Amino acid sequence: MCPFKVVNTNINFSTKGEIEFVDLSNTVQEAVAAANMKTGIVHVFAPHATGILLLTENDDALLNDIKVFLEELAPRHKNYSHPSNAHAHLRSALFQPDRTLPLINGNVEFGTWQSLLFVETDVYPRKRTVIIQVIGETE
Amino acid sequence: MCPFKVVNTNINFSTKGEIEFVDLSNTVQEAVAAANMKTGIVHVFAPHATGILLLTENDDALLNDIKVFLEELAPRHKNYSHPSNAHAHLRSALFQPDRTLPLINGNVEFGTWQSLLFVETDVYPRKRTVIIQVIGETE
Amino acid sequence: MCPFKVVNTNINFSTKGEIEFVDLSNTVQEAVAAANMKTGIVHVFAPHATGILLLTENDDALLNDIKVFLEELAPRHKNYSHPSNAHAHLRSALFQPDRTLPLINGNVEFGTWQSLLFVETDVYPRKRTVIIQVIGETE
């Protein structure tokens, strides 16, 4: 029997709009535990053009700095071609919505100061889906 | 028999130089269909130091905004150390040329407004290769 | 027997602090050779909130341009909420510490001008770990 498998989990949540941070670190660890997987990778993907997956420290002061950083890199009020939410798209394009994490001995190997956050960049409340794929060995 | 496999596909195309967008979304779906794969991931990689793989909405107005964004983040005319195309390298470094996509029930799970684009950042026409790897279960 | 496997390698090194580049390209090729793997992917992950994994050309002049680019995108001296090293976190958030590379015929398919670099963004010397995972077929 092949001890290799893929286990997919979709998680759904609502956001309040620009800018909100949703910590997915525990959700990812739970998906790995539910899949009973030992070694491999965890691929996390947000199927959205105005959302970001971000590895960083989950510290309120730092998240405030990241919010300001996003606003400065792609300001909301500027002369864009795309109507209404171009800045939300530019922020998502710059930071991207796909990340891959190592799974070793049954745990996702986040660093001590590292969390996985979804960042809402769109301008109004949205229903969001994140796909978590655990790929690897069960033994 | 192990239902797990890796299927590699190279695609080749020419670009006209700075800045050109090439939509690879259908090409990626076709590589998955040709590989007859059901569940796993699709890893897409551009082996180039002046190219980008980008998940975003393929909308002409937005692509124009992204072009301006690239020009503002790393302007062409500036005092760089690297000769001739430093700005092309900086844009590629900031956006990066590797992306991973979820494959579920035989389809790459792009979001409704999400496409995968290759972005040429170099200053003259180039011949480009993109490697598409389908990794997962055939059943 | 299933010819699929995952082989994990941790590498450890010291950095001198902001900004240092450590070329991991040969290390990654050696990990693949030691794992005796033929086809698949190599996932590289830095479990750090103030480090970057970057695909770019390893050219001294260009690395100097990238250093200036990092300093301009997230200046060290600015009014941040997070104490002492917010700019180091912002740089790591913008460039991210996870990359995935194609493994084909026993070699990582770097482009001609492409290297994988770890970039230290923290402000003082650090001990760093990078996780290299080779995932794929042995035959």
**Smallest Cα distance from B45 to chain C, Å:** 7
**Distances A131 to A102, A121, B80, C11 between C-alpha atoms, Å:** 16, 18, 41, 30
Asked whether the beta carbons of residue C131 and residue A66 sit closer than 8 angstroms, the reply is no
Asked whether the beta carbons of residue C114 and residue B49 sit closer than 8 angstroms, the reply is yes
Asked whether the beta carbons of residue C59 and residue B47 sit closer than 8 angstroms, the reply is no
Asked whether the beta carbons of residue B3 and residue A2 sit closer than 8 angstroms, the reply is yes
| B86 within 8 A of B79, measured Cβ to Cβ | no
Choose the closest CB to B6 out of C39, C110, C113.
C39
Average pLDDT on C42-61 reads 98
Q: What is the ipTM of this complex?
A: 0.96
Q: Is the pTM of this model over 0.90?
A: yes
Asked whether the beta carbons of residue C62 and residue B82 sit closer than 8 angstroms, the reply is yes
What pLDDT score does A138 carry?
87
What pLDDT score does A79 carry?
96
Q: What is the CA radius of gyration of chain A?
A: 16
Chain C interface with B: residues with Cβ < 8 Å: 2-4, 39-41, 54-57, 59-62, 64-66, 69, 73, 94-96, 99-102, 104, 109-114, 135-137
Asked whether the beta carbons of residue C66 and residue B131 sit closer than 8 angstroms, the reply is no
Choose the closest CB to A2 out of B4, B109, B112.
B4
Asked whether the beta carbons of residue C135 and residue B131 sit closer than 8 angstroms, the reply is no
| C2 within 8 A of A3, measured Cβ to Cβ | yes
Chain A residue with minimal CA distance to B108?
A47
**Smallest Cα distance from A2 to chain B, Å:** 6
Average pLDDT on B12-17 reads 97
Asked whether the beta carbons of residue A48 and residue B135 sit closer than 8 angstroms, the reply is no
Choose the closest CB to C102 out of B2, B45, B90.
B45
Mean pLDDT by 10 residues, chain A (139 residues): 88 97 98 95 98 98 98 97 97 98 97 98 97 93
Cα separation, B101 vs C100, whole angstroms: 12
Asked whether the beta carbons of residue C2 and residue B6 sit closer than 8 angstroms, the reply is no
Q: Which residues pair with B23 in a beta bridge?
A: B117
**DSSP 8-state assignment for residue A76:** S
Cα separation, C119 vs B78, whole angstroms: 23
Q: Would the pLDDT of B1 be above 70?
A: no
Grade residue C46 by pLDDT with cuts at 50, 70 and 90: very high
Asked whether the beta carbons of residue A111 and residue C4 sit closer than 8 angstroms, the reply is no
What pLDDT score does A56 carry?
98
**DSSP 8-state assignment for residue A42:** E
Cα separation, B56 vs A96, whole angstroms: 8
Residue scoring higher pLDDT (C139 or A26): A26
Neighbour subunits, A (≥3 Cβ pairs < 8 A) = B, C
Cα separation, A31 vs C9, whole angstroms: 24
Asked whether the beta carbons of residue A59 and residue C82 sit closer than 8 angstroms, the reply is yes
Chain B residue with minimal CA distance to A52?
B55
Tokens for C98, please give them. 């996870």
Predicted confidence (pLDDT) per residue in B80-124, tens digit: 999 999 999 999 999 999 999 999 999 999 999 999 999 999 999
User: 3-class secondary structure for chain C?
Assistant: CCCEEEEEEEEEEEECCCCEEEECHHHHHHHHHHHCCCEEEEEEECCCCCEEEEEECCCHHHHHHHHHHHHHHCCCCCCCCCCCCHHHHHHHHHHCCEEEEEEECCEECCCCCCEEEEEECCCCCEEEEEEEEEEEECC
Tokens for B69, please give them. 């964004």
Grade residue C138 by pLDDT with cuts at 50, 70 and 90: confident
What pLDDT score does B12 carry?
98
Interface test with B, best of C45, C57, C134 (most B CBs within 10 A): C57
H runs (alpha helix) in A57-130:
60-73, 86-95
Cα separation, B135 vs B9, whole angstroms: 12
| A74 within 8 A of A111, measured Cβ to Cβ | no
- Mean pLDDT over each residue of chain C, to the nearest integer: 96
Chain C partners within 8 Å of A54 (Cβ): 93, 96
Chain A partners within 8 Å of C46 (Cβ): 111
Predicted confidence (pLDDT) per residue in B46-66, tens digit: 999 999 999 999 999 999 999
Predicted confidence (pLDDT) per residue in C67-107, tens digit: 999 999 999 999 999 999 999 999 999 999 999 999 999 99
Q: In what order do the strands lie in the sheet with C115-120?
A: C20-23, C115-120, C51-56
**Distances C7 to A132, B122, C38, C134 between C-alpha atoms, Å:** 21, 36, 12, 5
Chain A partners within 8 Å of C69 (Cβ): none
Q: Would the pLDDT of C1 be above 80?
A: no
